[in-house]
């Protein structure tokens, strides 16, 4: 029995990566996995808290999704888990629909992702414009920074709203409640993160010096240890994970199916679609970064199916949405990872930490986590793109700024939709402006008799004759000659149904007026469309392979009076090419 080809595309990269696997590679993968696991610990806690979820949710997601994405990924060093890209969307879903419906929306997004990979739509994600990606990435980063000011300043706010105006208003009205101990601790954490980033070399752990060896230790772990020790030893009056959430569970939760409320579930389609699109963009961008590091190509469809599988299963254990993460994948590479085993070790290392060291997490101060979140958000933003806007055209500037502002002020879904629509309209305008027509003048070819332009017109079309460029044909219809129209389509690279319909309309007008329409130079794709609409079978329509053949046929149809008069001189004295 032969399996369907769509099923055969499910080929995880681990099958290829384990060929020739040996003890040395296992050591490298284990070291890399533990390093990434230590890096993931603080950000997983911070991402969950910033999303309005218990801190343990981030660890559950990092463990389950991290293991599954590594196991089924189309990229051999991809590290998956909770991502900063989801924070704004997840917080909004939790505020509006509650945590149980977040789990359902996450599972729905996982199904969408798997289907996208199954139907080979992975390459389509690459067509999302750079301006849209940069716009919403910077918008998400700005919102994360704004939302973390509560814990960074230690403000006495019971619950933060999800909208931009609500966040700004709440922060402003509670600004007088600043906890200077929390602010000082957050500033110290920020200085530690900045100092560690500046001191540690970016070239990786291969260096034979102390700094090169210390580089495998994430700065976030150093900041977390310093913040926790300072809070415990100095008895600082700041909020901790223990005081707000009661700590994190010391065991791994069992699998439970979230309760389905079909009346509410139907409203979750757009949030789930947004999660799926964000996950696809984030994961495939991460995989492309890994490609550049490894000098190889990932399987985008397999990657989408891996992300889909993880986002369907992880919510069953109470996890949040997950995706591939660039910073952790890059750290995985720098730490010496050679296969998906490193990603699986990273998940198992986190599980071991949860089982053995969960009580210690109660002492982690929230200002430290807020500083880590703001530091991470600042690093994911491509802020230099704002200063480079002057070098781009106005449509690019408008698209990027519009997506950024809409993401921050209104909603990420609206921002992406508006950005895509604006980009499509800009693309249509640019392509239509590249489509033009040249007029072949009488006497341009020495072996063709001159003709009277009032009796015969010859046009050469160039570009894509699609719905945005049919005005070329409409303009021709307004100034038709008396006897013959020759259209050279050799320069037409694409013809859509609207363009074909306009050609049919031109053929009808020509037939009604007794004018012969000759088409020539039709290439493969336009020829297929012409055959579908049976344009060449219409009355009064003829076809020639080349322009010269069409001109000979056309001039042979003209009476002598139409060949004797010409604007450029007598027909007996042709102008050479």
Residue 314 located in a structural domain = yes
Distance set, CA 154 to CA 170, 237, 247, 476 (Å)? 13, 10, 19, 70
Do residues 80 and 65 lie in contact, with contact meaning Cβ atoms separated by under 8 Å? Answer: yes
Tell me the pLDDT tens digit for each residue of 553-567. Answer: 999 999 888 885 444
Is the pLDDT reported for residue 573 higher than 60?
no
The H-assigned helical ranges of 200-268 are 210-214, 219-233, 241-245, 262-265
User: Tell me, what's the pLDDT at 566?
Assistant: 41
Q: Is the distance from CB of 346 to CB of 33 less than 8 angstroms?
A: yes
Count of domains forming the chain: 3
Do 158 and 242 belong to one domain? yes
Q: What is the distance between the alpha carbons of residues 136 and 227, in angstroms, rounded to a whole number?
A: 32
The verdict on 240 and 334 lying in the same domain is: yes
Mean pLDDT, residues 103-112 taken together: 95
* Region of poorest pLDDT, from 406-420, 443-457, 486-500: 406-420
Evaluate the CA torsion angle 182, 187, 192, 193 in order and state its sign: positive
Residue 335 sits in the same domain as residue 411: no
Among residues 79, 80, 81, which one has the least CA distance to residue 48? 81
What is the rounded average pLDDT for all residues in the chain? 86
Q: How confident is the model at residue 203 (pLDDT cuts 50, 70, 90)?
A: very low
> Could you list the residue range(s) of the whole structural domain that residue 422 is in?
397-432
The answer to whether residue 226 sits within a structural domain is yes
Q: Are residues 299 and 235 in the same domain?
A: yes
Is residue 152 in some structural domain? yes
230 and 356 together in one domain: yes
CA–CA separation, 272 and 448 (whole Å): 64
Q: What is the DSSP string of 548-570?
A: HHHHHHHHHHS-HHHHH--TTS-
Evaluate whether residue 7 is within a structural domain. no
Any idea what the Cα angle at residue 109 is, between residues 103 and 113, rounded to 5°?
A: 145
Q: What would the pLDDT profile of 71-102 be if each residue is shown by its tens digit?
A: 999 899 999 999 888 888 899 899 888 899 99
Q: Are 278 and 323 in contact (CB under 8 A)?
A: yes
Shared-domain flag, residues 453 and 523: yes
Distance from C-alpha of 260 to C-alpha of 273, rounded to nearest angstrom: 18
Residues 515-537 as b/e (b if ≥16 CB within 10 A, e otherwise) read bbbbbbbbeeebbebbeebebee
230, 240 contact by CB (below 8 A)? no
Residues 297 and 354 in one domain: yes
Helix/strand/coil for 280: helix
Residue 70 lies in a domain: yes
Name which of 444, 449, 446 is nearest 488 in CA terms. Answer: 444
- Both 370 and 346 in a single domain? yes
Strand partners, 81: 323
Are 241 and 107 in a shared domain? yes
Examine the domain organization and report whether 373 and 401 are in the same domain.
Answer: no
CATH code for the domain of 541: 3.30.750.24
Q: How far apart are the first and last CA of the chain?
A: 65
For residue 365, list its beta bridge partners. Answer: 240
Q: Is residue 389 part of a domain?
A: no
Mind listing the pLDDT tens digit for each residue in 175-189?
A: 999 999 999 999 999
Q: Are residues 120 and 93 in the same domain?
A: yes
Helices within 358-469 (DSSP H only): 366-380, 384-387, 394-409, 412-433
| 343, 447: one domain | no
Which residue, among 110, 111, 119, 113, has the nearest Cα to 9 in the 3D structure?
A: 119
Q: Is residue 17 part of a domain?
A: no
Query: Higher-confidence residue: 410 or 469?
Result: 469
Average pLDDT over residues 138-142: 87
198 found inside a domain = yes
C-alpha to C-alpha distance for 183 and 365, rounded to whole angstroms: 11
Which residues are bridge partners to 458 per DSSP?
A: 486
């Amino acid at each position: 029995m032969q399996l369907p080809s769509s099923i055969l595309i499910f080929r995880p990269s681990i099958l290829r990566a384990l060929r020739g696997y040996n003890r040395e590679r296992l050591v490298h993968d284990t070291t890399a996995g533990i390093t990434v696991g230590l890096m993931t610990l603080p950000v997983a806690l911070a991402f969950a808290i910033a999303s309005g979820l218990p801190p343990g949710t981030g660890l559950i997601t990092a463990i389950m999704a991290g293991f599954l994405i590594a196991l089924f990924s189309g990229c051999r060093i991809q590290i998956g888990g909770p991502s900063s890209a989801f924070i704004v969307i997840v917080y909004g879903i939790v505020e509006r629909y509650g945590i149980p419906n977040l789990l359902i929306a996450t599972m729905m997004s996982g199904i969408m992702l798997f289907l996208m990979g199954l139907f080979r739509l992975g390459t389509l994600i690459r067509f999302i414009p750079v301006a849209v990606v940069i716009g919403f990435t910077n918008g998400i980063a700005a919102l994360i920074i704004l939302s973390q000011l509560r814990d960074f300043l230690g403000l006495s706010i019971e619950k933060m709203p999800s909208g931009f105006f609500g966040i700004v208003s709440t922060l402003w009205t509670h600004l007088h409640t600043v906890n200077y101990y929390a602010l000082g601790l957050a500033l110290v954490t920020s200085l530690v993160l900045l100092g560690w980033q500046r001191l540690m070399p970016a070239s990786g752990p291969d260096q034979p010096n102390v700094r090169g060896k210390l580089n495998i230790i994430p700065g976030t772990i150093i900041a977390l240890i310093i913040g926790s020790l300072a809070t415990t030893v100095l008895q600082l009056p700041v909020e901790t994970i223990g005081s707000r959430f009661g700590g994190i569970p010391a065991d791994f939760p069992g699998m439970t199916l979230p309760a389905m409320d079909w009346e509410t579930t139907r409203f979750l389609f757009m949030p789930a679609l947004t999660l799926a699109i964000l996950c696809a963009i984030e994961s495939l961008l991460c995989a492309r970064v890994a490609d550049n590091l490894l000098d190889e190509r990932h399987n985008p469809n397999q990657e989408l199916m891996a992300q889909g599988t993880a986002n369907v299963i992880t919510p069953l254990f109470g996890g949040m949405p997950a995706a591939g993460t660039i910073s952790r994948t890059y750290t995985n590479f720098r730490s010496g990872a050679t296969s998906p085993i490193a990603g699986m070790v990273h998940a198992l290392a986190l599980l071991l930490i949860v089982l053995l060291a969960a009580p210690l997490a109660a002492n982690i101060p929230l200002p430290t986590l807020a500083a880590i979140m703001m530091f991470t958000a600042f690093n994911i933003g491509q802020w230099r793109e704002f200063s480079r806007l002057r070098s781009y055209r106005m449509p690019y500037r408008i698209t990027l700024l519009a997506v950024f502002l809409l993401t921050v002020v209104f909603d990420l879904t609206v921002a992406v939709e508006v950005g895509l629509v604006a980009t499509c309209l800009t693309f249509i305008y640019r392509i239509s402006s590249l489509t033009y027509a040249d007029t072949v003048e009488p006497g341009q070819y020495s072996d063709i008799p001159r003709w009277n332009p009032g009796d015969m017109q010859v046009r050469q079309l160039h570009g894509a004759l699609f719905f945005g460029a049919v005005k070329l044909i409409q303009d021709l219809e307004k100034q038709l000659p008396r006897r013959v129209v020759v259209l050279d389509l050799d320069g037409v690279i694409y013809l859509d149904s609207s363009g074909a319909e306009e050609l049919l309309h031109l053929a009808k007008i020509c037939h009604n007026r007794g004018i012969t329409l000759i088409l020539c130079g039709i290439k493969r794709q336009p020829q297929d469309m012409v055959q579908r609409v049976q344009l060449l079978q219409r009355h009064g329509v003829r076809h020639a392979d080349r322009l010269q053949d069409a001109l000979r046929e056309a001039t042979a149809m003209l009476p002598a009076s139409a060949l004797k008069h010409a604007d450029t001189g007598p027909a007996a004295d042709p102008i050479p090419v």
